[in-house]
């Protein structure tokens, strides 16, 4: 019996849609049937969620995340994935109060980085994520260094995400600009640490290893649903 997957989404809607699609696509690719795991989605208020991040209202931020997770649990989810990177900044606090298993996106990405024998990676995402340290801590146990872009580049990447990607706007000029930024750093891998970024950048677009946080998180969720 597959475990029911709870997706804490809406952060943003663009990536939430991809989470659902990716999990079901991965299942069909592996099993070639339609016995998909059951998926429950709770969609948060994206602007309110972002306001809490930007204003560092951490207590309220944790409470709001927990409200969504408790709703998923009440709806019958057996475990939860948070469909964004940034809420994993408070994963330990949320786990302690949630009463349900929550699969870490950072752990899924770090494991893939280890398997790829990476030594130095560049973290990209919203400024909140790039200016936090939860990715550095997650990669530290594997001996993998995590760099962040300089401030000007952080501003550009953050603006790309909030002004284009979250509203499903993917431009070739933006992709080229992003690749130019990444290529200015001496790293052997890039962490797409925002679940909208994989909608812009694919492995074929760049020479270094791409760590697609959304796909890796979905793979972990499907595996957990089926094998546990």
pLDDT at 228: 60
Q: How many CB atoms lie within 10 A of CB 152?
A: 9
Residue closest to 125 by CA, chosen among 105, 103, 102: 105
Q: What is the largest CA-CA distance in the chain?
A: 49
Query: pLDDT value at position 156?
Result: 97
The tens-digit pLDDT sequence of the chain (228 residues) is 899 999 999 999 999 999 999 999 999 999 999 999 999 999 999 999 999 999 999 999 999 999 999 999 999 999 999 999 999 999 999 999 999 999 999 999 999 999 999 999 999 999 999 999 999 999 999 999 999 999 999 999 999 999 999 999 999 999 999 999 999 999 999 999 999 999 999 999 999 999 999 999 999 999 999 996
Rounded to 10 degrees, what is the CA torsion of 160, 134, 149, 65?
20
Q: What does DSSP assign to residue 166?
A: G
Using CA atoms, how far residue 213 sits from 63, 107, 124, in Å, is: 24, 10, 11
CATH 3.40.50.1860, applies to 5-104+216-227: yes
CATH topology classification for 106-212 = Rossmann fold (3.40.50)
Its pTM stands at: 0.95
Q: Given this model, what pLDDT does residue 111 score?
A: 97
Cα angle value 210/216/217 (rounded, 5°): 135
Q: How far is CA 7 from CA 3, 49, 153, in A?
A: 13, 16, 31
The answer for residues whose C-beta is within 8 angstroms of residue 55's C-beta and 6 or more apart is none
Which ranges in the chain are annotated with CATH 3.40.50.1860? 5-104+216-227, 106-212
**Rounded Cα–Cα distance for residues 168 and 163 (Å):** 10
């Amino acid at each position: 019996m597959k475990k029911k997957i709870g997706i804490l989404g809406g952060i943003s809607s663009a990536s939430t849609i991809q989470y659902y699609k990716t999990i079901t696509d991965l299942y069909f690719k592996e099993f070639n049937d339609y016995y998909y795991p059951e998926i429950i989605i709770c969609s948060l208020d994206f602007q309110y969620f972002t306001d809490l991040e930007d204003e560092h209202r951490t207590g309220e931020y944790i409470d709001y995340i927990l409200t969504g997770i408790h709703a998923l649990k009440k709806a019958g989810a057996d475990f939860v994935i948070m469909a964004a990177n940034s809420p994993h900044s408070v994963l330990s606090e949320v786990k302690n109060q949630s009463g349900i298993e929550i699969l870490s996106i950072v752990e899924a990405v770090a494991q893939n980085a280890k398997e790829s024998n990476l030594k130095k990676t560049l973290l990209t995402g919203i400024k909140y994520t790039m200016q936090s340290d939860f990715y550095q801590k997650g990669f530290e146990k594997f001996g993998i260094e995590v760099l962040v872009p300089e401030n000007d580049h952080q501003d550009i990447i953050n603006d790309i995400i909030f002004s284009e990607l979250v509203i499903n706007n993917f431009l070739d000029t933006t992709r080229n600009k992003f690749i130019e930024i990444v290529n200015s750093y001496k790293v052997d891998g890039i962490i797409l640490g925002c679940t909208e970024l994989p909608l812009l950048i694919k492995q074929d677009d760049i020479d270094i290893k791409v760590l697609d946080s959304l796909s890796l998180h979905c793979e972990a969720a499907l595996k957990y649903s089926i094998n546990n």
